[in-house]
Chain A
Amino acid sequence: MLKNRIIPCLDVKNGRVVKGINFVDLKDAGDPVEQAKIYSDGGADEICFLDITASNENRDTIYDVVKETSKKCFVPLTVGGGVRSVEDINKLLSCGADKVSINTAAVQNAEVVLESSKKFGSQCIVVAIDAKKNGNKWEVFTHGGRNNSEIDALEFSKKMENSGAGELLVTSMDRDGTQVGYDIDLMSKISSIVNIPVIASGGVGNLDHLVDGIKLGKASAVLAASIFHYGKYSVKEAKEYLDSKGIPVRI
């Protein structure tokens, strides 16, 4: 039976982890490679890096991070943030990323998704959708949540599936950082209209939220950042909890 995945996400800026795990035995709390290794040793099903480097001149730092991480972590590695072109995707993949997530570029030009999924295979193309509720619909935002494209998130999801995306990483901007739980309505609606896996993101504050994301949100995988970073829960604890609630996980 296919297991639901738990994916810890690390924000990386200029090659350093921004919000890291607070473990006392960490040699270097800002080292993304060391943090990724802790997660993979702890049973993370995948690792996700979100590059939030603002300036272009420091953007190459992510390539070194990916190179080093892929030599030490033998679970899938997804990298996103600032991915603009097929060439960017190619570079990340050749550094050792297994999947690349595309956000703004996918909204601006669906051809990037079409072309890259043809070239590298759908399995490595994740489209990251940042959605915010407006009335009774959700709108897609770009540029790290700064610009409203006014595109309907449900229609966009379907379009991305048809363009060759292998997975959708759906983040509720209303919930992100609030720790009150995923936007279940958004997750379940998108999950029911597409036939590709949906990864739920944004708003996790406790382990029941992960359960809800899978059971009610119909997500194939759940992504979380802060509950793992600050040592509130370990990946192992999260998995044991999900298991106790009857959710199939890899233990």
Chain B
Amino acid sequence: MGLLFSVLTFTSITIIGVISIFIITGLTGLFSLGQASFMAIGAYTSGLLVTKLGMPFPLAIIISVAMGVLFGLIVGLPTIRLRRDYIALVTFGFGEAIIAVLNNMTSVTGGATGMAGLPQYTNLALAGGSAVVCIFMARNFKYSRFGRQCLALKTDELAAKSIGINVTRLKLTAFLVSAGMTAYAGVLFGFYTTYVDPGIFNWTKSAEWIIMVFFGGIGSLTGAIVSALILGTLPEILRFASEWRIVIYSVTVLIIINYRPKGLLGERELKLADIKKLFSSWRKAL
């Protein structure tokens, strides 16, 4: 039972991370290869505030998310106007820089050995609840005016500009929202494992989330959630295959990109009616 709870908690945190990628990659088509470093910022800021300054947990969450957004602003402002490739490169460099800082400020962050002794404030209810709230936020995002503008931007940036959409502001908003959300995922992560070290937050983590979004279907929120559920829980259950985990991921994604480039669901969203239909067809088959 304990294992199941921990798997579900980790999956909820992964879902939050994947949704933050969905907002930036799925909605606006930008790539962040340093998304995990925002998670590091969240985890370390909140951890330091609580353990060193004795700050109450909720206040620490708010400050950590603000920190995530602030760093997002520092990275985003100069690069968001440029070609899409630059965002990927700069966020990648940002991830390296953050890891270097964490590794070198040994007196504050514990360096490469990590920061231990965080109290375990996160539980399944908090993580699961947060995941649900984030899903709801992303859904509202997608169906709002903002989301429709993003769709236009992703499909054709020039056309979107020419009908008067402020492309730069739109991209920056998406980037900041996703940075804040990832920082929050980092807080939950740190206060669940009670221990963090810089190595957890390398670019492979960010790439894993991007892969999950693509696995589910680039434009589909439910697709992203389903794939986070599948790809997030499977390796936890198949612990013995942990060495091969990423290899299996990568091969799966290569196959999907080559033979079903739209991902599991493509642009479609899974609706309650779909699930009902699926169940009734099963019943008929039985």
A and B associate: no
Chain A residues with CB under 8 Å of chain B are: none
Chain B residues with CB under 8 Å of chain A are: none
